[in-house]
Chain A
Amino acid sequence: MCLGIPGQLVEVYQKDDLPMGKADFGGVVKEVCLAYTPEAQPGQYVLVHVGFAISVIDETEAGEIFSMLAQMESLAESEATEPMNEPPPSSPLPQQSISGPEG
Chain B
Amino acid sequence: MVLLGRFMPMKYVDEYRNPQVVRQLAEQMRRLVSRPWQIMEICGGQTHAIMRFSLDTLLPVEITLIHGPGCPVCVTPVEIVDRAIWLAGQPGVILCSFGDMLRVPGTQKDLLTVKSEGGDVRVVYSPLDAVRLAQKEPDREVVFFAIGFETTAPANAMAVRLAKQWGLRNFSVLAAHVLVPPAMEAVLQAPGSKVDGFLAAGHVCTVMGLEGYRRIATKYRKPIVVTGFEPVDILRGIFCCVRQLEQGRHEVENAYARSVRAKGNLLAQRQIEEVFQLADRKWRGMGVIPASGLELRPAYAQFDAVRRFGLERISAEEPTECIAGQVLQGLKRPYECPLFARQCTPEHPRGAPMVSAEGACAAYYRYRPGRPADGPK
Contact = CB atoms under 8 A, between A and B. Distances in A.
A57 interface: yes
Contacts of A5: 1, 3, 13
A70 B11 CA distance: 19
Interface residues of B, number: 74
Interface in A14-68: 16-18, 25-28, 30, 33, 35-38, 45, 47, 49-52, 54-55, 57-59, 61-62, 64-66
Interface in B320-375: 356, 358
A3 interface: yes
Contact of A26 (B3, B21, B210): B3
A83 interface: no
Interface in B201-245: 201-204, 206-207, 210, 225, 229, 232, 236, 239-240, 243
Contacts of B268: 36, 54
Contacts of B165: 17
Given A4-B259, A6-B13, A99-B253, A35 B98 contact: no
A37 B207 CA distance: 11
Given A1-B358, A6-B12, A54-B268, A25 B3 contact: yes
B2 A99 contact: no
B31 interface: yes
Contact of B232 (A3, A65, A73): A65
A103 B262 contact: yes
Given A1-B356, A52-B155, A101 B254 contact: yes
B324 to A, nearest CB: 16
Contact of A33 (B128, B201, B255): B128
B194 to A, nearest CB: 24
Interface of B: 1-3, 6-13, 15, 21, 24-25, 28, 31-32, 43-45, 70-73, 98, 100, 125-129, 147-149, 151-152, 154-155, 158, 162, 165, 201-204, 206-207, 210, 225, 229, 232, 236, 239-240, 243, 252-263, 265, 267-268, 271, 356, 358
CB-based closest 10 A-B pairs: A51-B126, A100-B257, A27-B8, A62-B258, A6-B12, A103-B262, A26-B10, A61-B257, A2-B151, A26-B8
